């Protein structure tokens, strides 16, 4: 798979809550059909970021991974052989919503991660691969939510994935502004993949 470096930790994410929440006016809103200037509000990428820690405390090895991947909200396919199983879409303290899933190369050969996954913002394109192109659609309120960024402009999502070998899988995450508590489901979209409706917790 692609190069991996430092991880974006839950502590870092919590520490930038005040800053990232100030992006809500640009990170969400507008017609769910897209096409307005707000869609570019994403950010820099660093290297591969690990999925956020499980809320019930630290676990080791396969135990921690099982706690993340033991539930399936939706399975989406596309991009020439990629499969994404979405495990959770959980509201966090500070007004965040964290989507966690497992990305797998279902083919026997190596696949390149689509450039569209990085998002459309020019700044994001220049800073490397990420999943900043993922969005959540609230059809009832006609709002679109984008991946948040930290104080340095890095997207709060897994980054650094460039290629995946045949049969390889990795756990990924992305953080968004949390929709109102009255919203119980949204549509998850990732370019080149089929959309899916997921339940919020």
**Has residue 176 been placed in a domain?**
yes
**Has residue 5 been placed in a domain?**
no
Q: What was the pLDDT predicted at 103?
A: 98
Chain-centroid distance of CA 59 in Å reads 22
**Has residue 93 been placed in a domain?**
yes
Q: Is the pTM of this model over 0.75?
A: no
The structural domain count of the chain equals 1
Which domain does 30 fall in, by range?
Answer: 10-53+73-199
Separation of alpha carbons 46 and 53, rounded Å: 19
DSSP one-letter code for 56: T
Tokens representing residue 183 in the block: 């919203």
Residue count (the chain):
201
CB 131 within 8 Å of CB 28: no
**Has residue 77 been placed in a domain?**
yes
Residue with tokens 């696949």: 111
**Has residue 65 been placed in a domain?**
no
Separation of alpha carbons 152 and 140, rounded Å: 33
**Has residue 4 been placed in a domain?**
no
Highest mean pLDDT among 47-56, 69-78, 112-121, 174-183: 174-183
Q: What was the pLDDT predicted at 192?
A: 96
Highest mean pLDDT among 7-21, 55-69, 184-198: 184-198
**Has residue 44 been placed in a domain?**
yes
pLDDT (tens digit, 9 = 90+) per residue, 126-145?
668 999 999 999 999 899 99
Q: Which CATH number goes with the domain that contains 20?
A: 2.60.40
Percent of the chain residues topping a pLDDT of 90: 56
């Amino acid at each position: 798979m692609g190069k991996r470096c430092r991880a974006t930790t839950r502590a870092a994410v919590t520490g930038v809550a005040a800053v990232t929440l100030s992006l809500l006016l640009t990170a969400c809103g507008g017609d769910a059909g897209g096409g307005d200037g707000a869609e570019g509000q994403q950010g820099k990428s660093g290297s591969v970021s690990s999925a956020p820690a499980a809320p019930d405390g630290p676990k080791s090895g396969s135990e921690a991974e099982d706690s993340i991947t033991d539930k399936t909200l939706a399975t989406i396919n596309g991009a020439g052989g990629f499969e994404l199983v979405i495990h959770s879409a959980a509201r966090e303290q500070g007004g965040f919503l964290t989507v966690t899933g497992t990305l797998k190369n279902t083919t026997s050969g190596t696949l390149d991660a689509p450039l569209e996954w990085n998002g459309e913002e020019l700044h994001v394109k220049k800073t490397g691969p990420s999943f900043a192109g993922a969005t959540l659609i609230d059809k009832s309120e006609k709002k679109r939510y984008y991946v948040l960024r930290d104080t340095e402009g890095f997207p709060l999502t897994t980054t650094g994935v460039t290629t995946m070998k045949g049969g390889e899988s990795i756990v990924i995450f992305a953080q968004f502004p949390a929709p109102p508590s009255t919203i119980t489901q949204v549509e998850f979209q990732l370019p080149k993949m089929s959309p899916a409706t997921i339940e919020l917790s």
